[in-house]
Structure 1
């Protein structure tokens, strides 16, 4: 517990008021909490955000969520978050905890009035192993109730998170559950060459050839395609596009002074038109419009699912 508290103390940023939208109060934000050492091969980090929106109109509680290069488990211990399912504004309530597969298109999330979200950001492709070899094609772009896929411990965890008021204790409860779950799967959780190839795509700003990726994964081109479909629900080329788009969005969001052309070159695009194409496909709006929509939403400038 002392290890976790020290990590949280380094990560915490507490805000009095966000300013946009009006009446939005960020109670607390832990943007990048490092996991326990035993979980680091599988969990990249945790994010915790608590936002009070009791006086905020629903139109100002919408968060745009374009695709990113990660797979995650999300917990909603307070108000129910809702996914907007069509242009008419109809919504679908999210369960208390959800797995989110690899997104290929944008979704919009309507925050509840007491919005507390905890994100467990996994290493890309890890859900395939955590869920016992469930092909990623079965949950690509979907939000699946974690209680339908995991053991009874996840239901108990959701109940305990709802009762808990200490943020540090919430992370501690989640870590305890994950440590037990991963320990039970230890023999099947070996890091394979394909996993290192996926990470290479996610973390590089360079264009990688399929031959190089296949060589790193010790696979033929056909085997590489099959393994990517198995773990991510898409081929390596398409995943590389999403990873590059994700890098560009995050870079601009955290460095608003940068010109979009500089962002394009820094993230491996040939030119601005190729970056624009990806934003139009994955975010359904121009780069400038996506940043504006993100800045106008609760949790401004923070990349998370909802």
Structure 2
């Protein structure tokens, strides 16, 4: 789930200030951390934007106010969950995130295989959206308070890196089963386009047992995880068209393993509520924030 500012926004009013956004991305030398993005924005139109499904767990230290999120915008403000340290498991529908006028934070994409070591529980036991302090304890909030002291990005990233490395060193949670590590890696290597039969043969487990183990460990079935990875790959390629890749949506669909152009559009509508071109139009101002690599990268 990506919830930094600049997502799909629906204006609910006007602001007099000019919107400005800053993104700073880095790679922490911490096993299991795919990317780390610092973001700071002011003058944003108040509204909502989409936190999209991803094959990563989302971990955010909000440095302004809480992040307010819901998966059902029709239920109103009472259904929103406000978190200052957001920790999100895998999900396959968009999260609707309130976009205030000011936002600042550090967001990490976490490989689900690292959930046990970093968070003490399998990814499948994490909430769709939850308060990170409830899982990580008061040390996480103390770190957030230090990060709120307007540290330079590099210093803030270093603080987060030290905190996560300590958690890895102190972890006593057993790692995932070898078959699950092999299965997740196989799906990533095939970028979500491998068959379930091929996956079962690779890990020497029957489809039913494999599905049970994946649901327990990751919170999604092997087929769902494959769809997330395939969508993630296709979304990156759609973003690349804004940088002159020259690919059409039909080209991307064929190369990413979709049956045809319409299949990719249906997948985009399920995961984003918009078509590829519609999503890109809303995201165009801040596609620079789409920095997550593919899981295999």
TM range (shorter): 0.7 to 0.9
After TM superposition, the score normalised by the length of structure 1 is 0.79
CA shift for structure 1 position 301: 4.9
2:166 matches 1:176: no
After TM superposition, the score normalised by the length of structure 2 is 0.81
CA shift for structure 1 position 176: 0.9
CA contact (8 A) 2:42 2:101 kept: yes
CA contact (8 A) 1:29 1:49 kept: yes
**2:4 maps to what in 1?**
none
* Alpha-carbon distance in 2 for matches of 1:206, 1:145: 30
* Alpha-carbon distance in 2 for matches of 1:93, 1:212: 40
* Alpha-carbon distance in 2 for matches of 1:29, 1:125: 27
Unpaired stretches in structure 2, ≥5 consecutive residues: 1-14, 293-297
What per-residue deviation string (whole Å, max 9, x for no partner) do you get for residues 250-286 of structure 1?
2111223421101111211121121122112221222
What per-residue deviation string (whole Å, max 9, x for no partner) do you get for residues 25-44 of structure 1?
12x3223x1221xx23x212
Aligned to 1:44, what secondary structure does the other structure show? strand
* Alpha-carbon distance in 2 for matches of 1:131, 1:223: 25
**1:48 maps to what in 2?**
38
* Alpha-carbon distance in 2 for matches of 1:206, 1:245: 8
**How many residues are paired up?**
272
Describe the shift of the 1:130–1:290 C-alpha distance in structure 2 as closer, same or farther (beyond 3 A).
Answer: same
* Alpha-carbon distance in 2 for matches of 1:89, 1:191: 41
2:257 matches 1:271: no
CA contact (8 A) 1:124 1:199 kept: no
CA contact (8 A) 2:51 2:97 kept: yes
* Alpha-carbon distance in 2 for matches of 1:117, 1:304: 15
CA contact (8 A) 2:41 2:103 kept: yes
2:154 matches 1:154: no
Describe the shift of the 1:200–1:134 C-alpha distance in structure 2 as closer, same or farther (beyond 3 A).
Answer: closer
* Alpha-carbon distance in 2 for matches of 1:173, 1:111: 26
**1:69 maps to what in 2?**
55
* Alpha-carbon distance in 2 for matches of 1:162, 1:144: 20
CA contact (8 A) 1:261 1:271 kept: yes
2:20 matches 1:25: yes
Query: How well do the aligned residues superpose, as a CA RMSD in angstroms?
Result: 2.7
Aligned to 2:93, what secondary structure does the other structure show? coil
CA contact (8 A) 1:64 1:109 kept: yes
* Alpha-carbon distance in 1 for matches of 2:38, 2:177: 27
Aligned to 2:18, what secondary structure does the other structure show? coil
Aligned to 1:234, what secondary structure does the other structure show? coil
2:224 matches 1:233: no
What per-residue deviation string (whole Å, max 9, x for no partner) do you get for residues 173-202 of structure 1?
111111111111167347834123213323
